[in-house]
Structure 1
Amino acid sequence: MLCYVCTDEQYYRMPQLFSLEDREACVRLRGDYCLGTFTLRPRTERGRELFDIMLKYSQDDRNFNHTVLHRGYCVTTRCPDLASRTSSASRPARRFLRCVDREAEAYGLRASPLRLDSCETAAGDPPPDVVDWSFAVVVAVIVVLNVAGTVYDFTRSPDEKPNQYLLPWSVRVNWRRLTATYDDGDPRLTALKSVQGVKAFTLALVMLGHSMIVHNMSYIENTRFFEQGNAHWLATFLHNGSVVVQGFVLVSAFLLAYNLLLLRDAGVQLRLRMLPAALLHRLIRIVPLHMFMVGLSATWWSRGGAGAQWALLHAQRAACRSVWWAHALSLNNILTVDDRCLLQAWFLAADMQVFVVTAAVTLWLAGRQRGGGGRGALRLLAALVAGAVAGNWLLAYWLQVKPIMLEMKPDVIREQYVGSASFKWMYAAPWGSLPAGLLGVWLAFLHHRLQRLRIRPERSKIFRLAYTWFLPALFLWVLGGHLVRHAPAPVVALYAAADRVGYVAIGATGLIGFFNGVDSFWKRFFEWRGWLPLGRMSLAVMLVHWNWHLTHIALKTTLSTVSVFEVGGHWHSVQIMSYVTALPLHLCLEVPAQRSLQALLFKTVKT
């Protein structure tokens, strides 16, 4: 059934799930403001009857657990009579518990503390510490390098050989790279310009999904509307929409493999021993900006505001200070998967781990004297994709892991998937993304073969049909997740293993058409020039947007009213702020750090 409670009268007999009082006035007047979560249990016979209703209603995993209350109270003013009855160092927390328990008593229930998020007795953060000031020094060094590089760019003689370590820090040079079209470059590479549009568009969908997630994490006023929306079949697009992230894995692996194949065409002898150098290039590309955002989240970002729900940012600050080392090693999706420092950063770690496998496979196949890029390579890659899917199926069935769509439960999302076996063992794990990565390599070998043999894919009727309908097919594939909600365990395990690779396989049809110049509205859409800078900033946007999501929610002083307009407004606001913030990150850190480190380590970078 959809739910146990079938009438509004029964629903509103239950205690309000979320309650949030004014924090600003409380702490300014030296009151005690506490935020926490409480579990309920029966206190009287009347309470037992109500508790049974709450318990049965909560068994529908599309509903919140209504036996758990979330409260943010100024205990000084809400329960002033309790001040004289407690006398210990934990007085605010004890008063908070007794205050909520008194509220529950009116329903015949008893409240027990599950988690205390915060108890504030004065406005403001503690003074900056050594970590804060150390990061400030790093920012100052970056600013100095950008000033020096830009001044050098404007003052140097065009006839002199540029300094390959200093010129990459010129903001003007990096702006030109960001906005360049490279239409006069290698036609094999300019044919791939739709990739930037695909990346930017996919990232917009990721931010939309995260908009729903952070609203789920907030203190919600209209929980009835939210839960009914969760039960609607169209909600599958949001619950199963996380598969779009695999598009980045596909594109990343494709670009890696295709560029290596072009190097081989240029006469470079590819060998497996080149893997460490390829990995180092990848680390230089990702790690500096990634660690900068970890440092920013661990220090000054949480000092940019305050609010009743600011504990979200304080929790991330503490997590980033604790697990920064795992992010530096690109192992945060394995070693510290339940520590929520930048929720989205699991992808960067998983993609790095998949990169090692796909780079090794590409170097080995492309370096073979025979069959490198021929049918044999395509058959072997197809077998590897099928093997990876089969392995994930067996793992999912053995561990009883569900597809992430079935883990999109309000209380699981609220806890940012902490403790979720599906998130840990499939969604964030590298083997969960490996099929998409291997498919990206297969796509690169296929595209390279089509070009080498001058085969036009649009001559195939089957391809033309698939290419015409690939976008509707993507939406139908995502929506199809609704059909496995009550399927038997083997089918659920199979869907957990095949869901994401099925999505990118359909998307690969569109990419092959785009890359081979098969005209369509969507090809022209994704090749729009405006996508180029947005796509190039995708790493910076990927890293910074989650902080803006949390900040927008944490700044709310009252309960959130979830609606299409509220979520849509939040989504667009986060997109704007993310790109505004990503621009200086891209120009002043991501690109200059990558190019100067490449010049230092490889001494082959063109300035």
Structure 2
Amino acid sequence: MIHLLYILFSAFVVSALSAQEYSENEGLQRLPQHLKLDDYHRCLSRRDGLYCYGGFELTPTQYPNPTYDYMKGYSAKTVFHYNRTSIYRGYCVNTRCPSYTGDASTRFKQCVNDWARPLSLRADLLPSPQYCRTHAEVTRPIPLDTPQRVILYVVAAILILNIVGTIYDRYCHDSSSSLLRLWSVGANWQRLVNDYTDQGEPRLNDLQPAHGLKAVVVFLGITAHCNGAHIMLLSHSAEKLEQNVMTTFGMFSLNGTSVATGLLSVSAFLTSYNLLLVSEKIPLSLKLLPLCLLKRITRFTPVFLLTVGYAATWWVRTGDGPVWSPMVGHEADICRKKFWTHLIYANNLVHPEQMCVGTSWTLTVDMQLSIIVCCLTLVLARRHRGALPVLAAMILVSCVINTMLGYIYQWVPLREAFNIESIYGKLNFPSFYNFYIQWWGGLPASLIGVFMAHLYYEQQVQGINFAKQKWLVFAANMSVPVLIAGILLLSLVEQGFSRTTSALFIGFERPVVSAAMILAFYAQIAVKGSSYNFFSWRGFQFLSRLSLPLVINSWLVHMTIAASRPHPGIGLYSVLDMLVDGLATYTLTVMVSIPLTVLVELPVRRSLDTLIFSSYIKSYASDKDRANIDTASVHDSDKKKAM
């Protein structure tokens, strides 16, 4: 089976690196350069420097116009070509066109039309993106505003608490359980790197492959987002980027949200299964719902809000370049405007087309679905067998409802809607922000996770020997290669769906991928198949514990590097280059995520858990249940080793 896995993976790599070749290389020479940028920093280092950037729509000034006709035909050839009748220019106006007079925008437009006129074309400046900047503007000191000061004070307070907590833990040897000890850098580092495999609830030890699954999917997701970011940033070599998108790897990247949704199933499985184990010690009821959600909030919120706060305030100050303002500056403005929506995890519900931090929606959807997962588990925990048909019916109903919504609102699958222009337009199309980043789009996946958790727990209660189930052993051995092959086939589905087919694809594509992923996970933990040891590798445990800051910060890390380049996209001429770029982004984000986890996530979460958990026990738990709650370590976030 391992050999088959390697063969499938090798086939994926080979096909991914084999871009489609075209017989129109000679015709490509007739296309105007899609993006052309003068040296931004050299231009604005001059006292009279004036740098303008903007998009232009080209139209012919005389007919027939072979150049314009070829541009139109090339753009319409496939949805994976840029609209080549639009161009983007960044000019040092004072050196390119020093003789022109008027305001900066007028001079810029005249300068570009000087280039277009010999081609019998006219260039009309698009309303966005565009800006003009002078030497005085970039050298003028920008004072700190109140939000920036607030973030600065928060970071300073966190650092001070870590220093004081570390000193207290190192030199104060009293037995008190002071909250300051929770801020010890050394202690939190050990919590990050320690191996908990042989500690705590034995049944949780079987869930170790969750670490590997999460780490691999997060890496693939980061690489896919890097690919999308380069499309948004444009490239001097637009033709190379277009060819990369049309490879198997490019198609896989465009369909990445379906794979990421599989993690919602795994997350729901782990949450539900942990609660079912807790039910052996204390009776579950909806009275526990606030505690369940608060523990989830304390885990997500510190890093989530600090990252969004940084994006809204200091991010724009960390770099500069010709495309920095229309990309990073624009997104930072959205983050500042929508910060309050992230505070209540509603950023995908309020103006969803305006996205702050491209990966933030995944955490928001996970948090929203946690409410449903916890409610269902708390209600159905006492009736495991009766829960299965109820959950199965809910899965089917949710898929049917999404199919009906897709038909009514004419949503189309990402494979249909994702194209070069829609990605460059920052995914501003209804299917994406009304379905794919909404909780109802991920609801079937979460319900599948809850269903599998109840099924797995019920089979354990009945004492079923999984190793004797031949079909399950076969599924465990074949799950990973079949899952990879299925995702590859899904990414190669042709476009051109009818309205009914699109609706069915909307309703059932992601549930099918999620079911395949959770079944692969279920088979591995049930019979410990041949891939069990690989996904249980200790290194994956470390990377999995960094998954929260990795997901939320990878976008900021990549955009900071890519958008500050004088010439975005230089050096990214093949899929291999894109993979290396994704690996570099992943590595740098790991380096950022380690201090965020040790200095922010772990101490803040542990402090809030201690305060909230203690308050709950005093307020709600009976004397009989308090000891049981204290010993229900499977629900303690520090000991959820598979989470």
Distance (Å, rounded) in 1 between the aligned partners of 2:44 and 2:495: 46
Distance (Å, rounded) in 2 between the aligned partners of 1:232 and 1:591: 40
Structure 1 residues 93 and 116 mapped into 2: Cα distance closer, same or farther (>3 Å)?
Answer: farther
- Residue 427 of structure 1 deviates from its aligned partner by 0.8
- Residue 429 of structure 1 deviates from its aligned partner by 1.1
SS across alignment from 2:99: helix
Spell out the pairing of 1:95-244 with structure 2 (5 A cutoff). 95-114=107-126, 115-122=128-135, 123-124=138-139, 126-157=142-173, 159-163=174-178, 165-182=179-196, 183-232=198-247, 235-244=250-259
State the AA in 1 paired with 2:266. V
State the AA in 2 paired with 1:117. Q
- Residue 532 of structure 1 deviates from its aligned partner by 1.1
- Does structure 1 residue 507 correspond to structure 2 residue 517? yes
**In structure 1, what is the equivalent of residue 73 of structure 2?**
56
- Residue 248 of structure 1 deviates from its aligned partner by 2.1
**Residue among 394, 416, 424 paired with 1:414:** 424
Distance (Å, rounded) in 1 between the aligned partners of 2:564 and 2:513: 36
Spell out the pairing of 1:432-581 with structure 2 (5 A cutoff). 432-481=441-490, 482-520=492-530, 522-561=531-570, 562=572, 563-581=574-592
SS across alignment from 1:411: helix
**In structure 2, what is the equivalent of residue 302 of structure 1?**
316
- Residue 100 of structure 1 deviates from its aligned partner by 1.7
Structure 1 residues 559 and 137 mapped into 2: Cα distance closer, same or farther (>3 Å)?
Answer: closer
SS across alignment from 2:355: coil
Contact persistence 1:39–1:68 (CA under 8 A):
yes
Spell out the pairing of 1:364-443 with structure 2 (5 A cutoff). 364-366=379-381, 368=382, 372-374=383-385, 376-418=386-428, 420-443=429-452
- Residue 564 of structure 1 deviates from its aligned partner by 2.6
Structure 1 residues 303 and 228 mapped into 2: Cα distance closer, same or farther (>3 Å)?
Answer: same
Structure 1 residues 398 and 476 mapped into 2: Cα distance closer, same or farther (>3 Å)?
Answer: farther
Distance (Å, rounded) in 2 between the aligned partners of 1:19 and 1:51: 18
**Residue among 350, 353, 370 paired with 1:338:** 353
**Residue among 86, 94, 100 paired with 2:106:** 94
**Residue among 28, 35, 52 paired with 2:53:** 35
**In structure 2, what is the equivalent of residue 73 of structure 1?**
91
Contact persistence 2:479–2:523 (CA under 8 A):
no
Structure 1 residues 559 and 203 mapped into 2: Cα distance closer, same or farther (>3 Å)?
Answer: closer
State the AA in 2 paired with 1:168. L
- Residue 559 of structure 1 deviates from its aligned partner by 4.7
- Residue 206 of structure 1 deviates from its aligned partner by 0.5
**In structure 2, what is the equivalent of residue 22 of structure 1?**
39
Contact persistence 1:22–1:74 (CA under 8 A):
yes
Distance (Å, rounded) in 2 between the aligned partners of 1:177 and 1:281: 18
Q: CA RMSD in A?
A: 2.1
Distance (Å, rounded) in 1 between the aligned partners of 2:72 and 2:254: 24
Distance (Å, rounded) in 1 between the aligned partners of 2:163 and 2:427: 42
Q: For residues 75-134 of structure 1, what are the alpha-carbon distances to aligned partners after superposition, in whole Å with 9 as ceiling and x for unaligned?
A: 11111121xx21xxxx22221122222222222121112214332212356232222122
Q: For residues 507-548 of structure 1, what are the alpha-carbon distances to aligned partners after superposition, in whole Å with 9 as ceiling and x for unaligned?
A: 12221133224231x211111111111101100111111011
Distance (Å, rounded) in 2 between the aligned partners of 1:104 and 1:389: 52
Q: For residues 278-332 of structure 1, what are the alpha-carbon distances to aligned partners after superposition, in whole Å with 9 as ceiling and x for unaligned?
A: 2222211111211100111122232222222222221222111111011111011
Contact persistence 1:62–1:231 (CA under 8 A):
yes
State the AA in 1 paired with 2:58. L
Distance (Å, rounded) in 2 between the aligned partners of 1:71 and 1:148: 52
Q: Which runs of 5+ in 2 are unaligned?
A: 1-18, 618-629, 631-635, 639-643
Q: Say which is worse superposed, 233-242 or 430-439, in terms of deviation.
A: 233-242
State the AA in 2 paired with 1:212. N
Distance (Å, rounded) in 1 between the aligned partners of 2:525 and 2:551: 25
- Residue 579 of structure 1 deviates from its aligned partner by 0.6
Structure 1 residues 234 and 278 mapped into 2: Cα distance closer, same or farther (>3 Å)?
Answer: closer
State the AA in 1 paired with 2:595. P
Structure 1 residues 27 and 579 mapped into 2: Cα distance closer, same or farther (>3 Å)?
Answer: same
Q: Say which is worse superposed, 481-490 or 542-551, in terms of deviation.
A: 481-490
Contact persistence 2:473–2:527 (CA under 8 A):
no
Contact persistence 2:321–2:564 (CA under 8 A):
yes
Distance (Å, rounded) in 2 between the aligned partners of 1:232 and 1:566: 13
State the AA in 1 paired with 2:484. F
Segments ≥4 residues shifted beyond 6 Å: 604-607
Structure 1 residues 233 and 518 mapped into 2: Cα distance closer, same or farther (>3 Å)?
Answer: closer
- Residue 395 of structure 1 deviates from its aligned partner by 0.9
Contact persistence 1:457–1:513 (CA under 8 A):
no
Spell out the pairing of 1:317-356 with structure 2 (5 A cutoff). 317-356=332-371
Distance (Å, rounded) in 2 between the aligned partners of 1:231 and 1:568: 15
Q: For residues 341-370 of structure 1, what are the alpha-carbon distances to aligned partners after superposition, in whole Å with 9 as ceiling and x for unaligned?
A: 10111111111111111111111111x4xx
- Residue 472 of structure 1 deviates from its aligned partner by 2.2
Distance (Å, rounded) in 2 between the aligned partners of 1:364 and 1:440: 16
Contact persistence 1:253–1:437 (CA under 8 A):
yes
Structure 1 residues 233 and 161 mapped into 2: Cα distance closer, same or farther (>3 Å)?
Answer: closer
SS across alignment from 1:425: helix
**Residue among 579, 587, 597 paired with 2:598:** 587
Identity of aligned residues (%): 32
Distance (Å, rounded) in 1 between the aligned partners of 2:248 and 2:359: 26
- Residue 555 of structure 1 deviates from its aligned partner by 2.3
Structure 1 residues 487 and 6 mapped into 2: Cα distance closer, same or farther (>3 Å)?
Answer: same
Figure out how many residues of one structure are paired with residues of the other and give that number: 588
**In structure 1, what is the equivalent of residue 30 of structure 2?**
13
Contact persistence 1:540–1:582 (CA under 8 A):
yes
**In structure 1, what is the equivalent of residue 265 of structure 2?**
250
- Residue 470 of structure 1 deviates from its aligned partner by 1.6
Distance (Å, rounded) in 2 between the aligned partners of 1:523 and 1:99: 62
Structure 1 residues 205 and 231 mapped into 2: Cα distance closer, same or farther (>3 Å)?
Answer: closer
Distance (Å, rounded) in 2 between the aligned partners of 1:235 and 1:528: 29
- Residue 234 of structure 1 deviates from its aligned partner by 5.4
State the AA in 2 paired with 1:330. Y
Q: Say which is worse superposed, 110-119 or 426-435, in terms of deviation.
A: 110-119
Q: Which runs of 5+ in 1 are unaligned?
A: none
Contact persistence 1:209–1:242 (CA under 8 A):
no
